[in-house]
């Protein structure tokens, strides 16, 4: 009984934390950074990164058709084109920045706050879109990365998504 | 005589291709050197700090442009985040040096972000010089000054729009 109580308290404490929390422990952060860095080993990895983000965004627009209109500005109708490719790299680089800042909480907060502002400014972006994006990303990463620790990624990314979506109305 | 003409023609060809600035081989070189210098985690934060401090040392007035993002203290979380944000944008342009269409799109995007800030040309020059000092410090001998100078010009030209 006591054990259950302690577990429940721990769970509640985890849920109450936002951003980087003790649930995304130092070792979790190390693991995420190390596993993510594999993507950046090769000079030509920008093609892999853009391709990866392209697949995720296209899948998102398939699952949540209303999101497609949100990417009209960046020419989602021509996903292989330069405009959309550049946008894909922007998204990958934002994720990369957050991951590389995982152990600098103050700077990470500032970076995520800025991303939250940028998404708040886009009318029509909803929390459920980030939920879908997160699920697709979590499904795709283990196909791309040979080493993928699902628990570490999940605990660290939960905080990231909470911060990025914190300024959305819906 | 014929050989001389051929040689002269060859020399002219070499001169023309190398004068074009930021050619394909230079682009590949810059990409490779950048990805090594850009590094990750704490190293990247230090790399970024070094570049920004070198910028502010040259043009102290530029700090005023970064007031909203903690420019007064390059150690602040707000400024670390901003410094890395800018380098992340720069990283995209370097990564796209060999994909002209996407490079054009990214430069146009960065141009719209910079237009409203009315950044004088000498600030870009200060950024170029800062890179020119921090990159070799990071990379040692394996740094090609000419390639960087030529390719930085392509990127700065795109962001400034002139």
**CATH number of residue B119's parent domain:** 1.10.490.10
pLDDT at res. A19: 47
Q: Is the pLDDT of residue A20 over 50?
A: no
Among B30, B70, B82, B92, the residue to mutate for chain A (most A Cβ within 10 A): B92
Q: Is the pLDDT of residue A33 over 60?
A: yes
B58-75 pLDDT per residue, tens? 999 999 999 999 999 999
Looking at CA atoms only, how far is residue B125 from chain A in angstroms?
Answer: 25
Please determine, for the modelled complex, whether the ipTM score is greater than 0.90. no
Closest residue by Cα to residue B98 from A45, A41, A69: A45
Distances in Å between the Cα of B76 and the Cα atoms of A18, A107, A119, B40 are 20, 7, 23, 19
Q: Cβ of B77 and A40 within 8 Å?
A: no
Tokens standing for residue A88: 């894909």
* Confidence tier at A46 by pLDDT (50, 70, 90): confident
Q: What number of other Cβ atoms are within 10 A of residue A75's Cβ?
A: 16
**pTM of the predicted model, to two decimals?**
0.86
Is residue A20 a contact partner of residue A156, using CB atoms and an 8 Å limit? Answer: yes
Residues of A within 8 A of B52 (CB-CB) are: none
Residues of B within 8 A of A106 (CB-CB) are: 76-77, 80
Q: Cβ of A101 and B82 within 8 Å?
A: no
Is residue A163 a contact partner of residue A120, using CB atoms and an 8 Å limit? Answer: no
Distance CA A25, CA B2 (A): 74
Average pLDDT of A77-92? 97
For residue B1, what is the enclosing H or E element?
none
Check residues B9 and A97 and name the one with the higher pLDDT.
Answer: A97
Q: What number of other Cβ atoms are within 10 A of residue B144's Cβ?
A: 18
In a domain, B10, yes or no: no
Q: What number of other Cβ atoms are within 10 A of residue A63's Cβ?
A: 13
Average pLDDT of B41-69? 95
Helix/strand/coil percent split, chain A, to 5: 75, 0, 25
Distances in Å between the Cα of B23 and the Cα atoms of A154, B13, B72, B111 are 43, 14, 38, 23
Distances in Å between the Cα of A71 and the Cα atoms of A10, A84, A150, A169 are 40, 9, 29, 19
pLDDT at res. B44: 95
In a domain, B143, yes or no: yes
Looking at CA atoms only, how far is residue A15 from chain B in angstroms?
Answer: 24
Residues of A within 8 A of B96 (CB-CB) are: 46, 85-86, 89
State the CATH class of domain A44-165: mainly alpha
Number of domains in chain B: 1
Please provide the size of chain A in residues.
Answer: 170
Check residues A14 and B92 and name the one with the higher pLDDT.
Answer: B92
pLDDT at res. B156: 97
Distance CA A97, CA A91 (A): 10
Mean pLDDT check: name the lowest of B13-17, B94-98, B105-109. Answer: B13-17
Q: Cβ of B88 and A85 within 8 Å?
A: no
* Mean pLDDT, chain B, whole residue set: 91
Average pLDDT of A78-105? 96
Looking at CA atoms only, how far is residue B13 from chain A in angstroms?
Answer: 29
pLDDT at res. A42: 81
Q: Is the pLDDT of residue B19 over 60?
A: no
Average pLDDT of A43-70? 93
pLDDT at res. A39: 87
* Exposed / middle / buried, residue B59 (Cβ in 10 Å: 0-12, 13-18, 19+): middle
Distance CA A113, CA B81 (A): 10
Q: Cβ of A110 and B104 within 8 Å?
A: no
Distance CA B3, CA A159 (A): 70
* Confidence tier at A40 by pLDDT (50, 70, 90): confident
Looking at CA atoms only, how far is residue B104 from chain A in angstroms?
Answer: 7
């Amino acid at each position: 009984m006591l054990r259950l109580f302690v577990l429940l308290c721990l769970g509640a404490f985890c849920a109450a934390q936002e951003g980087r929390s003790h649930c995304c422990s130092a070792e979790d952060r190390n693991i995420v950074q190390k596993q993510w860095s594999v993507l950046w080993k090769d000079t030509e990895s920008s093609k892999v990164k853009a391709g990866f983000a392209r697949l995720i965004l296209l899948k998102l627009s398939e699952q949540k058709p209303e999101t497609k209109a949100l990417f009209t500005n960046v020419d989602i109708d021509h996903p292989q084109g330069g405009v959309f490719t550049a946008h894909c790299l922007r998204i990958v680089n934002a994720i990369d920045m957050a991951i590389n800042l995982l152990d600098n909480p103050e700077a990470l907060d500032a970076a995520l706050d800025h991303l939250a502002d940028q998404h708040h400014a886009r009318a029509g972006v909803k929390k459920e879109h980030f939920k879908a994006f997160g699920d697709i990303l979590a499904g795709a990463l283990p196909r791309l990365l040979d080493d993928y620790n699902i628990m570490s990624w999940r605990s660290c990314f939960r905080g990231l998504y909470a911060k990025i979506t914190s300024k959305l109305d819906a | 005589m014929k050989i001389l003409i051929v040689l002269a023609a060859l020399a002219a060809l070499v001169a023309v291709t190398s004068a074009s600035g930021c050619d394909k081989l230079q682009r590949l070189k810059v990409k490779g050197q950048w990805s090594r210098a850009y590094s990750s985690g704490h190293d990247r934060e230090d790399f970024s700090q070094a570049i920004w401090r070198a910028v502010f040392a040259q043009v102290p007035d530029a700090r005023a442009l970064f007031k909203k993002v903690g420019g007064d203290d390059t150690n602040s979380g707000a400024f670390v985040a901003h410094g890395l944000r800018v380098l992340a944008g720069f990283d995209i342009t370097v990564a796209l040096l060999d994909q002209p269409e996407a490079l054009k799109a990214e430069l146009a995007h960065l141009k719209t972000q910079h237009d409203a800030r009315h950044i004088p040309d000498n600030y870009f020059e200060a950024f170029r010089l800062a890179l020119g000092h921090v990159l070799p410090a990071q990379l040692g001998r394996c740094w090609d000054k000419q390639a960087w100078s030529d390719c930085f010009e392509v990127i700065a030209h795109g962001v400034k729009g002139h």
